[in-house]
Amino acid sequence: MVEPRGPWRLLREAAFRRYWSAQTVSLVGDQITVLVVPLLAVLAVDAGPAEMGYLTAAALLPNLFFSLPAGAWADRRRDKRRIMIAADLSRALLLLAVPALWWADALTLPLLCAVAFLVGSFAVLFEVAHASLFAALVRRPDYVDANTLLNGSRAASFVAGPSLGGLLVQWLSAPVALLADVLTYLASAAFLTRVRVADAPADTSDQARGMLAGVRFVARSAVLRAVLLGATTLNLFNYIFAALFVLYVTTSLHVAPGTLGLIIGLGALGGLVGAAAAGPLSRRIGIGPAVLVGFVLFPAPLILIPWVGGPYALILATLAVAEFLCALGVMILDITVGSVQTAATPPSMLAVVAGFKRTVNYGIRPIGALLGGALGATIGVRPSLWIATVGALLGAVWIWFSPLRTMRDLPELE
């Protein structure tokens, strides 16, 4: 029997395999929601540019308010797996309420925003606990390979999720399509219950001191500081873009929901290429230069979207190319950055550092979404997309002027 090589050998370990399976099935559901909820707002409650900004911001505001305290709280608990299971079950229950409200003819934009906010809150709790569980399951030399598998699943979810979501919306309805996401959260919780892993070390300090320690650690680390500032810059402009993308493509470019889902899904095949390329690329040119490649290659192709016009076939082809290259870039970025962050952080501080990162990096996203809605309503959607796509490239500047630019191997703990 031939032994599996590269990242696939990690799947021979039962605990990691179940953890990876939980992530994979949940990610597919996440991508269904990313497309279905904006479509639900447009098709069911007649949301305009400003309303789309409110909805996107509602889902992202928990990152700003709760990430740092959630990370400090999670670091003080030994069993991070149970936190993730509780978050999965809570999100499933909340999303189940949306089709129920729709069938009762009671669904409104404020209620949809409220559900998005609560689902986002439990997503924060899930993700900060996930950072510690990852380190408990994966050995340091395997960080890039493990992140390759996880982000490969994420890339596959970009293919399957939007395609399935768009078709479900077109065949059934947007509220019914959310039921698929409910099932994925339940499946994720079921897989996590079967993961057996030693408890992660717990932070014995009080919660306020733990939060302060996490902030200080990131601020003093040249590597973590550069990654955080670069990602925050990129995300500010990327979420100006995200708040207006579905509206622009469906109303200005006249792309049907099902077609949009298929384009995003097919374009996301680039994520599979990026996931496969990230490990070899980081070994060939170094982990730091690979991070820089991701910071450029992720946002640059989106410039094609406000640029494209003309025949319908050209529009569809351009959208597919932009989505493909963007997905390729984001996989390289996420795999390399995730590995760098885990390597540069003490195990007892992984959740709080992840929480601080989400507070700043993800907290800027609702600000970007609100700014996108405001810009779209004042100067127009297409000019706003131009600002967003060009501005996102500024994130690479932080990496260029940091130790990462020439770093060959994963950083040691500072």
CATH annotation of 11-196+204-406: 1.20.1250.20
AA identity, residue 111? L
pLDDT at 295: 93
pLDDT at 89: 93
- Whose CA is closest to 353, among 369, 368, 340? 340
DSSP state letters, 302-353: GGHHHH--SSHHHHHHHHHHHHHHHHHHHHHHHHHHHHHHHHTS-GGGHHHH
Tokens of 363: 């907290």
Tokens of 278: 């990230």
Put residue 347 in one of left, alpha, beta given phi > 0 → left and psi -120 to 50 → alpha.
alpha
Beta strands in 238-302 (DSSP E): none
Domain ranges for the chain: 11-196+204-406
pLDDT at 400: 92
- Whose CA is closest to 203, among 338, 390, 354, 30? 354
CB 11 within 8 A of CB 17: yes
327/210 Cα distance (integer angstroms) = 35
> pLDDT for 276-314, tens place per residue?
888 889 888 988 899 999 999 998 888 888 888 778 888
Show the low-confidence residues of the chain (pLDDT under 50).
Answer: 1-3, 206
57/262 Cα distance (integer angstroms) = 25
The predicted model scores a pTM of 0.69
- Whose CA is closest to 370, among 229, 183, 230, 239? 239
- Whose CA is closest to 414, among 143, 223, 141? 223
Task: Write down the residue that tokens 């305290």 correspond to.
Answer: 69
> pLDDT for 350-362, tens place per residue?
777 777 777 787 7
pLDDT at 209: 64
Task: Write down the residue that tokens 């003490």 correspond to.
Answer: 346
Within 344-361, residue ranges assigned H as helices are: 350-357
- Whose CA is closest to 227, among 303, 334, 311, 72? 334
Task: Write down the residue that tokens 């996490």 correspond to.
Answer: 214
pLDDT at 1: 40
pLDDT at 394: 92
